[in-house]
Structures are given as C-alpha cells and as structure tokens.
C-alpha cells in the first residue's frame, strides 16, 4: 500500500505551481519509507550554458532597477511563501524527514528573511569619509556582483536558499540554484513560487534558475567564471573542494560548512532550562542540523544529576513517521547516514566511551528501506578523535570539567567553529564565554541551545566551518562589491599626501 506522503507531495507540487521534469536520470525519494516518489529528468550541460547566459542577461537589467523596486519582488515572494507554507512544509517533511513543526519552522525562516530583505532594499548604506584635500568628498558605494550560484544541502532544503536569494535579489544579482539531489522537489516548488512572484511584479525573465542536477553539473557551476559568487552550504569536505576551485579563478565563495557544536553546563545553571535546551539541540531533525549539539561539557558537581535526567528524557522520545505529527524524531536521510552513526558509536566505545542510552536502529520491520535510530548519549573520558569528528546523526558525547577555563579550552579544541552555548546564571561566566577569551564559534549563546538561530543575526562560523555569513546583520555585503569614490567639486587638483606633479 502506497504511503499517504506520495499523494501529499503531488498535491503540494500542484498547489505551488511546480512542474517536475519527469525522467529517469534522478529520483526523488522520501526517507520516511525509503521509497521513490518520482523519477526526474536532469538538467543537461547544454541547458546549464543557456541558464548562465540567461542569468547574465537578466542581471544587466536587474542591476539598473532601483533597490526598493527590487524589494517588491522579494515582498511578493514572501507573500506567496506564506500562502503556501503548509504545502512547502509537506515537501520538507517528505524529502528531509523533518517533523511537521520543524518543517513549518523552516518555511517560516524563508518568510522572515523576505521581510528582512524588503527593509534592506532601502538600507544598502555606504559611508561618507572626510577627505584631506579641500573641495573633495570621499564615499563608498555598493554595487551588485552578477550571477550568484547557490548550493544547498538536504538538511535545510529551502531556508538557506532563501537566506541567500532574498538578500542577493535586493542587492541586484541573479540566481542559479543547485539544490541537494535529495530534496529536488522542495527546490522545484520554491522556485515555482519565485517565478510567480517575478511575473506578478514584472521582474526580468531569467533572473532565477534551479538545476535538477547531480554533483557533475554542480562542479561546472562552481568552475564557471560567469558566476561571481558561489554560496555553498554543506560538509567541510565539500567546502574544501569548492573554496580552492572558486579562488583559483578569482571568484568569491561564501561557505557554510560543518559544525561540532557544544554546550557548557555550569554548576549555577538552571538545570530545567538546560535540559530542554540540550534535548532539542541534540535530537532535533534526528541530529542532522549543522547546529546540532554534539558535545556536552558539564561541571562534575552537576553531571550525575543532569545526565541521569537527560537519559530519562531521551527515554520519552517518540521515534517514527514524521508525517503523522505524532513523532519527535524522524528518520536519518539514507543508509549512508545510518552507517556513519553505527561506525561512530563503535569508534566511541573503542576510544573508552560508555553508551548510556540509544544506539539502535528501530522500525526496520515496518520501514525496511528507511533508517530510524535511537538518539544516543555516550559518556567519554576525554575528547577523543571521534568526538572531534562531526557525525551527522543524533549522538551526544558527554564530558566533565572542573574549571571554566578548562571547559572553554575543551570546547574550542575541535576543527569546526559554528555554534556554541553555555548554561549559567553567573554573569561572569556568561560574559567570559562570549568574550575574546571565550567561544571561538560564529554563534555563542547564553542559556539557549546551539540550534534555532533567528534571521536577524548573521549566521555562520569560523575555522573549518568556512567563515561565511548569511541572513541578517551586514551579511548583505557578501553579495555586493564595494567602490571607494572621490568627488572633486573644486577648480583645483591637489594630490593626496602633498604630492606635487606638473
């Protein structure tokens, strides 16, 4: 008997006005059951060439459109996203395996970033600087880059695309999107709504494109000199390939890569609050967020009590089909993710770890082609090699500390630097954690978990996380080029630094 998600997917695509190019090159699949949803025809290399030509042509018209007028497109897109929030959430659940509230939350991020970008369209500010020469004015201006290539991952199939696209569009760029092969239907629906918005406001044709493609075509996008900026979200391994290739052609890259996120639980922490924060951050999206909490560094005075309570909380988690709305933990994305989960737990045991709970595959009889697992907590004697390695699965490694400086050093001693947190009611501890001598991550939170960033702040991390910033604050600058202008409004021509010539 066919799972209801099949009919829900087709209805959602139709509601969004999306047409899936049917074929046999690629296959849309749902991790809920492991079944194929439909076959898709892949974009060809010849079609990519046409896409890039079209995007370049659209850019030349779009860059001359006043920024507040460009904002009208994003405003309309946001309205359509809100209108079809439930449809898109169905697709996110179907292809990424998220529970309904998390899927709806991701779509809400798209709506929120559209609202932010509309305001931004009237705030692309430059500076005016004093000149040392009389009768001169200095200023900086910001200009669109050109074609922006966006590469996204399966775990957040639509929100990071919107972070990039809403902002890049108001900055005057055109977009070519290479989504994850695992979430192509989400991409087609999202792009269809943007196409409708573009028609509604009279935006240039060819302003945005989506590629139904595998890695091969993605590499062509990365290597093409017509793509001014490549914004790539994914693994550190992927970023290590993309960054140098873009740099070799003197292009720009914006990298949002892996995270090995940790929380410190201090002896003064509100343990009830910390329990909720840790549980969601460690288990949400079945541990498949880049901001998932993977390490818990807890003061030895409260470790026994807190970990016992956390193990009990894990025992209440409902694991199962996320589309029913009755589960808190959905499936891993595919068999490879389950293999990584099992191998990481085996390595943790070999490196002295003690499995406190979880660690097993479940529901295999009901869903033999899907991969549901029990979230695991592992007590580690120290920060071993496997702890320093990001595994995209619900595994939380627990370690203890005595002094805060020791905890911060342990926290920072991993290659990744995305998100971090401390739970404490001691203002000195809180301030130290967010100070220069504290967390070395791009996100440092106090009394909230590592997941769930708001769009108003710049999102991104340091070290092997790539250094990119998306979403709010001044992240818009990544999508523009800066020019310094000097205007001489006098009838003299003094040279800077007192140089005399002729």
DSSP per position, 461-478: -EETT-S--EESTTGGGG
Contact 486, 502 (CB under 8 A): no
pTM exceeding 0.95: yes
Residue 493 in tokens: 């021509």
Contact 149, 178 (CB under 8 A): yes
In whole angstroms, what is the distance from residue 193 CA to residue 199 CA?
Answer: 10
Dihedral sign for Cα atoms in the order 430, 435, 441, 442:
positive
261-446 folds as: Aldehyde Dehydrogenase; Chain A, domain 2 (3.40.309)
In whole angstroms, what is the distance from residue 377 CA to residue 383 CA?
Answer: 14
Dihedral sign for Cα atoms in the order 425, 426, 428, 433:
negative
Q: Where in the sequence of the chain do the CATH 3.40.309.10 domains occur?
A: 261-446
Does the annotation mark 79 as catalytic?
no
- Tens digit of each residue's pLDDT, the chain (502 residues): 789 999 999 999 999 999 999 999 999 999 999 999 999 999 999 999 999 999 999 999 999 999 999 999 999 999 999 999 999 999 999 999 999 999 999 999 999 999 999 999 999 999 999 999 999 999 999 999 999 999 999 999 999 999 999 999 999 999 999 999 999 999 999 999 999 999 999 999 999 999 999 999 999 999 999 999 999 999 999 999 999 999 999 999 999 999 999 999 999 999 999 999 999 999 999 999 999 999 999 999 999 999 999 999 999 999 999 999 999 999 999 999 999 999 999 999 999 999 999 999 999 999 999 999 999 999 999 999 999 999 999 999 999 999 999 999 999 999 999 999 999 999 999 999 999 999 999 999 999 999 998 999 999 999 999 999 999 999 999 999 999 999 999 999 999 999 999 8
Contact 258, 447 (CB under 8 A): no
Dihedral sign for Cα atoms in the order 302, 305, 309, 314:
positive
Compute how many other C-beta atoms are within 10 angstroms of the C-beta atom of residue 325.
10
Contact 138, 131 (CB under 8 A): yes
Q: Where in the sequence of the chain do the CATH 3.40.605.10 domains occur?
A: 5-257+466-483
In whole angstroms, what is the distance from residue 458 CA to residue 331 CA?
Answer: 29
- The Cα-based distances of 92 to 8, 84, 117, 159, 495 in angstroms read 11, 12, 23, 10, 60
C-alpha dihedral, 5 to 7 to 10 to 12, nearest 10°: -70
Catalytic choice (95, 102, 181, 256): 256
Q: Which CATH class is domain 5-257+466-483?
A: alpha beta
């Amino acid at each position: 008997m066919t799972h209801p998600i099949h009919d829900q997917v087709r209805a959602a695509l139709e509601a969004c006005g999306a047409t899936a190019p049917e074929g046999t090159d690629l296959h849309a699949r749902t991790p809920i059951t492991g079944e194929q949803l439909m076959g898709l025809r892949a974009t060809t290399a010849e079609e990519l060439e046409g896409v890039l030509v079209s995007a370049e042509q659209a850019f030349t018209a779009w860059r001359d459109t006043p920024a507040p007028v460009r904002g009208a497109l994003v405003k309309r897109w946001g309205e359509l996203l809100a209108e079809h929030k439930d449809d898109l959430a169905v697709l996110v659940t179907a292809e990424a395996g998220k529970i309904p509230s998390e899927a709806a939350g991701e779509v809400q991020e798209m709506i929120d970033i559209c609202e932010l970008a509309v305001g931004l369209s009237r705030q692309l500010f430059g500076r005016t600087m004093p000149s040392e020469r009389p009768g001169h004015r200095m200023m900086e201006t910001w200009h669109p880059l050109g074609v922006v290539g966006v590469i996204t991952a399966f775990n957040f199939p639509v929100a990071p695309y919107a972070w990039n696209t809403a902002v890049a569009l108001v900055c005057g760029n055109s977009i070519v999107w290479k989504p994850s092969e695992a979430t192509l239907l989400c991409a087609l629906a999202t792009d269809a709504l943007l196409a409708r918005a573009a028609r509604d406001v009279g935006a240039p044709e060819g302003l945005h494109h989506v590629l139904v493609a595998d890695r091969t075509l993605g590499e062509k996008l990365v290597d093409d000199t017509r793509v001014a900026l490549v914004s790539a979200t994914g693994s550190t391994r992927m970023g290590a390939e993309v960054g140098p290739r873009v740099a070799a052609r003197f292009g720009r890259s914006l990298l949002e890569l892996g995270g090995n996120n940790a929380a410190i639980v201090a002896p003064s922490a509100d343990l009830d609050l910390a329990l909720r924060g840790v549980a969601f951050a460690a288990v949400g999206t079945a541990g498949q967020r880049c901001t998932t909490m993977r390490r818990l560094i807890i003061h030895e005075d409260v470790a026994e009590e807190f970990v016992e309570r956390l193990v009990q909380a894990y025992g209440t988690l409902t694991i199962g089909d996320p589309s029913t709305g009755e589960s808190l933990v959905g499936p891993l994305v595919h068999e490879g993710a389950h293999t990584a989960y099992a191998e990481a737990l085996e390595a943790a045991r070999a490196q002295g770890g003690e499995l406190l709970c979880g660690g097993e595959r479940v529901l295999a009889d009901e869903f033999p082609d899907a991969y549901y697992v029990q979230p695991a907590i592992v007590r580690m004697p120290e920060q071993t090699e496997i702890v320093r390695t990001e595994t995209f699965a619900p595994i939380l490694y627990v370690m203890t500390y005595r002094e805060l400086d020791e905890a911060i050093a342990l926290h920072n001693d991993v290659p990744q630097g995305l998100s971090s947190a401390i739970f404490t009611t001691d203002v000195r501890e809180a301030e130290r954690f967010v100070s220069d001598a504290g967390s070395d991550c791009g996100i440092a939170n106090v009394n909230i978990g590592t997941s769930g960033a708001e769009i108003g702040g710049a999102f991104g991390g340091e070290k092997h996380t790539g250094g990119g910033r998306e979403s709010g604050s001044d992240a818009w600058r990544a999508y523009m080029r800066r020019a310094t202008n000097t205007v001489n409004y006098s009838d003299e021509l003094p040279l800077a630094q007192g140089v005399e010539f002729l």
